[in-house]
């Protein structure tokens, strides 16, 4: 009996796919082993065989960023491949081993597998708390904020450098703060001890690099939050949403207007063109156009306007689906970047707490006046109309007026609660300055 040609063509493909499935444990273990070897090579060549210290002062910031990215990539590969190895071993049984022998596959010896697994565990176990180390090193220089009792406009939160601060130091009461010597003399003595410390210069350089590292991580994360959604929107619109929409919606027979506002806008544009054509016909020294010629001009302009609004309608539909992809990319970036979010929060805290009271009050007044002030309804109206046009929706005036009447009020309430609840406790002098400037 002859084997059908279709079976003859598909049999080698199925055999190769089955061999690939049987080789999954060996392939996964080899990839994890190579990733561990890469990490070990960096340790031996640049850190004298020790663990890769991301806070080391041996290399500059760019080199440490390179080591960090390479370390994260190799650790991710090793852990993913180990997971794949364990999962594939669950489905490996005697029948699979016999089938692999028939197909010419030879598995490595158990001793070699155990040796590779032991080596991989020894390498990657040193970096189990890598994310926590990066976050803690970025947060190590967070300034200590001291509350000011008197809410005078000139006072501001003080930043106290405390290099010998313990992780969980017991808070002292007011009676414990009294000593034999004045606190100014004790603080001077403590500052002299820090300055005379032989390791003070290294500590200063290390703290500066940690602060610089925190700033770089925060700015890079902000740029990623802006660039990645925009790139996702454009790429998905061009490569995914556009071709799919053009396949199901013909450019020639597609709907011209998505709503009545677009149709009215097209009619107004055509009417203005007709009036402009008649005006030129009256004032021009050339022979006037006949009624048939004017009809031809109007027909060409109508086709041009129809094509313009057909493209605008298709673009609005593409924007809806592309924005969904952008929001998904933004949420995914937030989910996988918990350590970067913590560093970004500390970065903003450091900037805000470093401002003077007048600067804090100025920013709060500017922000509140723009979004909840007297002229803010005009800005919200422009934003909502732009969003409606972006998605091809009709600008519902009732919804816009209802939104303007409710959302800024809710936002203003949140601002006032934040000022009363948090800012008044952290920086009462800034609240006093804000009230004086606002009055």
Q: What is the pLDDT of residues 184-193, one digit of tens each?
A: 676 677 767 6
Which ranges of the chain have pLDDT less than 70? Answer: 1-19, 21-22, 57, 90-108, 130-184, 186-187, 191, 193-197, 200, 250-254, 285-286
Token pair 């422009």 is found at: 382
Q: How far is CA 417 from CA 371, 396, 411, in A?
A: 16, 32, 10
What sign does the CA torsion over 122, 127, 128, 129 have? positive
Residue 33 and residue 116 in contact, taking contact as beta carbons nearer than 8 Å: yes
Q: How far is CA 215 from CA 73, 157, 222, 342, 382, in A?
A: 22, 22, 11, 12, 35
Q: How many CA atoms lie within 13 A of 384 on its CB side?
A: 18
Query: Can you give the pTM of this predicted structure?
Result: 0.57
CA distance linking residue 226 with residue 383, whole number of Å? 19
Residue 212 and residue 61 in contact, taking contact as beta carbons nearer than 8 Å: yes
CA distance linking residue 131 with residue 72, whole number of Å? 10
Q: What are the residues whose beta carbons fall under 8 Å from the beta carbon of 168, sequence distance 6 or more?
A: none
Q: What are the residues whose beta carbons fall under 8 Å from the beta carbon of 49, sequence distance 6 or more?
A: 43
Sequence length of the chain is 439
**pLDDT digit string, tens, across residues 5-60:** 444 556 566 666 666 766 778 888 888 898 888 888 888 888 888 888 777 767 77
CA distance linking residue 228 with residue 223, whole number of Å? 8
Residue 371 and residue 356 in contact, taking contact as beta carbons nearer than 8 Å: no
pLDDT of residue 98: 58
pLDDT of residue 378: 87
Question: Residue 150: what are its φ and ψ, rounded to 5°?
Answer: -90, 120
CA nearest to 321, candidates 411, 391, 249:
391
CA distance linking residue 330 with residue 215, whole number of Å? 21
pLDDT of residue 340: 87
CA distance linking residue 86 with residue 139, whole number of Å? 36
DSSP string, 254-300: S-S-SSHHHHHHHHHHHHHHHHHHHHHHHH-SSPPPPHHHHHHHHHH
CA distance linking residue 30 with residue 25, whole number of Å? 9
Q: For the chain, which residues make up each domain, given as ranges? A: 5-128, 214-337, 355-438
Residue 47 and residue 68 in contact, taking contact as beta carbons nearer than 8 Å: no
pLDDT of residue 342: 87
Strands 158-159 and 145-146 come out as antiparallel
């Amino acid at each position: 009996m002859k084997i059908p040609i279709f079976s003859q063509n598909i049999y080698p493909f199925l055999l190769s796919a089955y061999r690939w499935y049987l080789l999954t444990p060996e392939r996964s273990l080899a990839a994890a082993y190579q990733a561990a070897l890469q990490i070990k090579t960096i340790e031996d060549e640049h850190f004298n065989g020790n663990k890769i210290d991301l806070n080391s002062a041996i290399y500059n910031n760019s080199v440490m960023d390179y080591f960090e990215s390479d370390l994260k990539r190799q650790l991710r590969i090793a852990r993913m491949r180990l997971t794949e190895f364990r999962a594939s071993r669950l489905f490996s049984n005697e029948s699979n081993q016999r089938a692999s022998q028939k197909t010419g596959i030879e598995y490595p010896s158990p001793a070699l597998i155990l040796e590779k697994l032991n080596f991989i565990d020894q390498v990657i176990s040193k970096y189990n708390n890598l994310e926590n180390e990066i976050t803690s090193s970025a947060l190590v220089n967070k300034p200590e904020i001291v509350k000011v009792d008197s809410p005078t406009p000139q006072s501001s939160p003080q930043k106290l450098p405390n290099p010998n601060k313990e992780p969980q130091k017991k808070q002292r009461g007011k009676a414990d703060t009294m000593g034999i010597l004045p606190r100014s003399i004790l603080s001077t003595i403590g500052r002299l001890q820090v300055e005379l410390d032989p390791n003070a210069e290294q500590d200063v350089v290390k703290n500066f690099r940690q602060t610089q590292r925190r700033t770089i991580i925060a700015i890079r994360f902000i740029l990623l939050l802006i660039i990645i959604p925009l790139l996702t929107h454009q790429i998905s619109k061009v490569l995914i949403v556009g071709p799919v929409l053009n396949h199901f919606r013909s450019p020639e027979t597609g709907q011209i207007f998505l709503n009545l506002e677009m149709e009215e806008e097209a009619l107004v544009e055509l009417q203005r063109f007709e009036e402009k054509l008649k005006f030129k016909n009256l004032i021009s020294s050339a022979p006037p156009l006949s009624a048939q010629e004017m009809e031809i001009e109007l027909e060409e302009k109508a086709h041009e306007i129809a094509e313009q609004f057909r493209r605008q309608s298709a673009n609005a539909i593409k924007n809806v689906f592309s924005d969904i992809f952008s929001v998904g990319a933004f949420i995914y970036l937030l989910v996988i970047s918990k350590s970067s979010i913590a560093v970004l929060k500390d970065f903003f805290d450091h900037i805000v707490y470093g401002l003077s009271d007048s600067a804090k009050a100025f920013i709060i007044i500017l922000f509140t006046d723009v979004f909840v002030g007297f002229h803010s309804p005009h800005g919200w109206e422009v934003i909502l109309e732009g969003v409606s046009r972006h998605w091809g929706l009709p600008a519902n005036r009732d919804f816009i007026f209802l939104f303007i009447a409710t959302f800024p009020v809710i936002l203003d309430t949140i601002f006032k609660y934040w000022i009363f609840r948090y800012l008044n406790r952290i920086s009462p002098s800034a609240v006093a300055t804000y009230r004086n400037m606002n009055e």
